[in-house]
Structure 1
Amino acid sequence: MEALKQELKENIIEQLNLEDFNVEDIADGDTLFGDGLGLDSIDALELIVMLDKDYGIKLTDPKEGKTVFSSIEVLATYITEHRKK
């Protein structure tokens, strides 16, 4: 699970061009949107594409997405339980 969290942090920084962040700046429990990393709805779409492409997970319910993207910890757990790749 720790390797997956590390991979997610790296992928999020790369995919979203978060040049001001490095992996060590992102705690597992940090919120991804709002006061945490400050991601927005466009970033959410990019994360949805990343989940589909990298892990074979298709998110279609916006409410589910809001929960899944609450933190790295929650996202890693969700991927572990639902990954297709």
Structure 2
Amino acid sequence: MTETSLMEKELATLIVEVLNLEDVEASEIEPEEPLFGEGLGLDSIDALELALALSKTYGVEVKAEDEATREVFRDLRSLARFVEEERTSG
């Protein structure tokens, strides 16, 4: 089990709430567990909803056409890193 940062905990809670994941507790989402496919099982619609929530909550924009977007949504840790970097650079 990997140590979870405060931002990762916040994002895990956001994911569970925004996507209405009834069978998942935020504390169960491991920082390096894939968010899509075999991991948490999110899909492209979930990615759109999550991107909108990130924009509203943290003021960061995830661009669908950006090649780095797949890496941003790889896991909770990379998503947290992206949000923190965007907030400090913006």
TM-based fold match above 0.5:
yes
Stretch deviating more after TM superposition (61-70 or 39-48): 61-70
> Post-superposition shift, 1:24?
2.4
Alignment coverage as a number of residue pairs: 85
TM-score between both structures, scaled by the size of structure 1: 0.90
Aligned to 2:67: 63
Distance 1:76 1:24 in 2: 15
Alignment of 1:5-16 (within 5 A): 5-16=8-19
Letter of the structure 1 residue corresponding to residue 85 of structure 2: E
Distance 1:33 1:9 in 2: 14
Aligned to 1:22: 25
Unmatched 5+ residue regions in structure 1? none
> Post-superposition shift, 1:64?
2.2
Distance 2:85 2:28 in 1: 26
Decide which of 33, 37, 57 is 1:34's aligned counterpart.
Answer: 37
Question: Which runs of structure 1 show a deviation greater than 3 angstroms over 4 or more consecutive aligned residues?
Answer: none
The CA RMSD measured in Å over matched residues stands at: 1.7
TM-score between both structures, scaled by the size of structure 2: 0.86
Residue deviations 1:7-55 (CA, integer Å, cap 9, x gap): 1000100000000000222100000000000000100001110111111
Identity rate, percent: 41
